[in-house]
Structures are given as C-alpha cells and as structure tokens.
A and B are shown apart, each in its own frame.
Chain A
C-alpha cells in the first residue's frame, strides 16, 4: 500500500505555528519520522494561511525535500498554490486534488500535465457529494474519462471515494467500499486513495474504527491511504492487511517490519 504521511497539515495547531515562524527544524523532523515509518509521499498543506498559502506551500516542499528524497503530496484546492509548489518540487509530485468543477479543473490540468505530476481526483458532483454509489460512480467516471482524454495514464490517477462519517450516515462506509471496488474493477491500473479518519467523526475510540475501515477498504482494493504512519496501530493494520490481501509475498515485509520494531 502506498502511504501518504498526513502530519504536515496546517489545520494542526503545532504545524500552523511552525509554519507561521518558518520553523524548518520542526517541519523536517515530521518529514523524517514519517519517511522512516514508511511514508511514500509527504502530504503538505498550508491552507490555513490564506493569501500566503502559495508561498508557504512552496516553502514546505523545499523544506521537506531538503532532508528526504520522498515526493510530496500537494494538498490544496488552489491552483496558484499548486503551481508555486510544483515549480520547486523535485521528482514527481502528487496533486491533492482535482474535481470536475470547471474553473479549478481548467487551471489544474495543464499544470499537472506540464509537471508530469500524479493527481488525486475527487468524486464530487455538481451539488456536493453524491449520495448513492451509482451517482458517485458516475461522478468518478466523468472525471476519470476527462483526465484520460487529456492524455493522463491510469496509474497516475488516484480516485478519492470521499469518506463521510458513519456517525451521520450508517451506510457511509459501505458506499465508499463499494465505490472503491467498482473503480478498481472498471479501470485496471488506476489507484484509489482516501483519508481514513473522517469515517470515525463523532464516535468514541476513533482509531479502532479508522483501522477497521482501512482493513475493509484494503480488501476492496484500496491501494493508497493518507494516514499517520508513525501510529503503530495504523501501520500494523496496513502491513497486516497487505499480507492478508496477498500483496506481500511470503509476508516478508510484515516480518521485516516486526523485526525492526516498526509494528507491535
């Protein structure tokens, strides 16, 4: 499973304060510990900073990539911020995210193509998040087909089924799981990705639900997740579900992680 480390996000107060004073050491520590724990991408988000977002997002990319060789996942709906970040990014970044919404789509597509970035596509409809699996699949299909017409390759597209809290809608997890399965079956070679923690909003012992959902989603084909790889329970679930899904030959990755004390 491809792991996108979620910790460098400006909605976290400590991160926001570090960003505010451009505390390189703090940011680099978060980047390093996530890569050591197994992150394949480092998510960077400076969304709390409004007008300064573009500048700070680019600063985050430079700061992170000064200490790790890992690509970043550029977390912003703002094409201007994405542009500045892509300009300084080394290697192939992932852009998080694109939607069918016209203005955003038209601005982001040329950028993503120019920098050969990978892209996360959200299954949003005209009026928010479609409620049924069928409707949501149609909105996924629409954006995937559009991206393919633009010349994108399936392995560079990551579809986000959009996770809603089961506290509000008991079917929220099932809908996302079915969507993951359908997208993975209909578009061979494409990826699916989600941030898992939204699933448990409003309920006690959230980690338990997050991890259970992750394992269920892995069984449906989810191959990328935005999560905290430094959380032992989460990482253990990732590696265990990989082994169970037949994606870890002879369980060697699982064994190795155990031996290094990364899972317990």
Chain B
C-alpha cells in the first residue's frame, strides 16, 4: 500500500480530459505483470470517477491486446503473457461487481474445456485467461470433459462459443464426437465452435466441422471476435 501513494500521487490528477492518463498507465503497465500495481491503478481510476467500462476496455483489454501483439512478434514470452493475464484478472476482479451493477455486457459467453480422455490444461487455461482478457465471460469445464457434459452446458448456459482443446492425437476424435453430439441434440447451430491444441491443424478443424481454429492463445481471442463479428475493441 506504500506503493500506492508513491506510485500514484505524482500523476493522480487528471488535468488532461477525464483521467485518461491513468487508463494509459493501466494498459502500459500490464506488461510488467504486477497484479498489485494493476489493482491499485484500477482502484485509482475508479476513484477518479472513470466508468468501469472505460477502464476495462481502454485500460485492461487494450493492454492485453498490445501484449498479444508483442507475443506474436516474438518480443514477449509465455511466462510474461501469463503474468500479464493474471494482473489483468486482478483488475477484472475489482471491476466485475461494478460492471454487473451498471449492466455492462461481456463481449460474449464462452464455454471452454479439454476433451474427454485428455488431462492437459496448461494451454486451455492460457486460452481461457486470454479470452477473459479479451472481455469474454468464461465458463471453464476443466479437463477430461465428456461430449454429454459439453452438450448439457451448452443447453443450460447458452454460450455464443464453445471452445475445445485436445493435446493428444488419440483424443482429437473426441472433438468430432462432441460436435456430433451437439448436432444430435439440435444445438449445433446455436453455438460457434472454436478448437485448438498442438496436434491440430486448420485442415483437421475444417474436417470435423468446427467454425474456427486457433494455433495459440493470442489468435484464439482474435478468432473468437471474428466468429461473433465483433470489431474494434
């Protein structure tokens, strides 16, 4: 908490418009991956009277977009992205109740899980974090998720996107099995399907009848936005 005064006091004022400077700092400093700092900056932004929506979109999400881009360019590496995503979540946790209060809708709801028989969760978790960082509401079903479970959750929670991960060549067929199960229940056209995982390719993703394939966590966000025809940030 000592940090807060020393960090924020000298720039606390919002002489330039309505505190846009602090928004820029949130976005810039996400890449340091310090959750405490982002929490404090988020609180400070709220104190300055900025709306939770602005802080989210122009601070946290914009910051994560920059991080995603730098990761793509090979400037940042996985641990740095991970820390930034955690810092982003720290900020999100403060904003969440206020966003709900003010009735701000997330970019969309996404159900995510690793398919049946597959216990890998590292990539899936990273994708979930990045999607959350992209402004989506995430329901994470975890690992070893059976097609019936995906079907049930899609029916109950009505997500716009179902995202599946498989890391084993032997569990890849469970993606198709899940898509078939959705078809059998008449739910296939109610949800977009996004797939990813090391053994996948665009060709395989097309073959099994998914709507999109993302080779990494950063492209997953772009792909999800594309699937829902979202533009801008």
Q: Which residues of A contact B (CB under 8 A)?
A: 10-11, 47-48, 50, 53, 76-78, 124, 127-129, 164-165, 167-168, 201-204
Q: Is the Cβ of B168 less than 8 Å from the Cβ of A201? A: no
Q: Which of B139-173 contact A (CB under 8 A)?
A: 143-144, 168-170, 172-173
Q: Which residue of A lies closest to B170 (CB)?
A: A77
Identify B78's interface contact among A77, A164, A201, CB under 8 A.
A201
> Once bound together, how far apart are the Cα atoms of A10 and B199, in whole Å?
10
> Once bound together, how far apart are the Cα atoms of A50 and B173, in whole Å?
8
Q: Is the Cβ of B169 less than 8 Å from the Cβ of A203? A: no
Identify B79's interface contact among A76, A78, A202, CB under 8 A.
A202
Q: Which residues of B contact A (CB under 8 A)?
A: 77-79, 82, 119-122, 126, 143-144, 168-170, 172-173, 198-199
> Once bound together, how far apart are the Cα atoms of A47 and B82, in whole Å?
30
Q: How many A-B residue pairs have CB under 8 A?
A: 47
> Once bound together, how far apart are the Cα atoms of A124 and B119, in whole Å?
10
Q: Which residue of A lies closest to B82 (CB)?
A: A168
B144 / chain A contacts, CB cutoff of 8 Å? 128
A167 / chain B contacts, CB cutoff of 8 Å? 77-79, 82
Q: Is the Cβ of B168 less than 8 Å from the Cβ of A168? A: no
Q: Is the Cβ of B122 less than 8 Å from the Cβ of A165? A: yes
| Listed residue (A128, A129, A165, A201) with the most chain B CB atoms within 10 angstroms of its CB | A128
A48 / chain B contacts, CB cutoff of 8 Å? 169, 199
Q: Which residue of A lies closest to B118 (CB)?
A: A128
A11 / chain B contacts, CB cutoff of 8 Å? 169, 198-199
Q: Is the Cβ of A47 less than 8 Å from the Cβ of B122? A: no
> Once bound together, how far apart are the Cα atoms of A229 and B168, in whole Å?
24
Nearest Cβ on chain A to B134's Cβ, whole angstroms? 19
A128 / chain B contacts, CB cutoff of 8 Å? 119-121, 143-144
B79 / chain A contacts, CB cutoff of 8 Å? 167-168, 202-203
Q: Which residue of B lies closest to A128 (CB)?
A: B119
B198 / chain A contacts, CB cutoff of 8 Å? 11
| Listed residue (B119, B143, B169, B198) with the most chain A CB atoms within 10 angstroms of its CB | B169
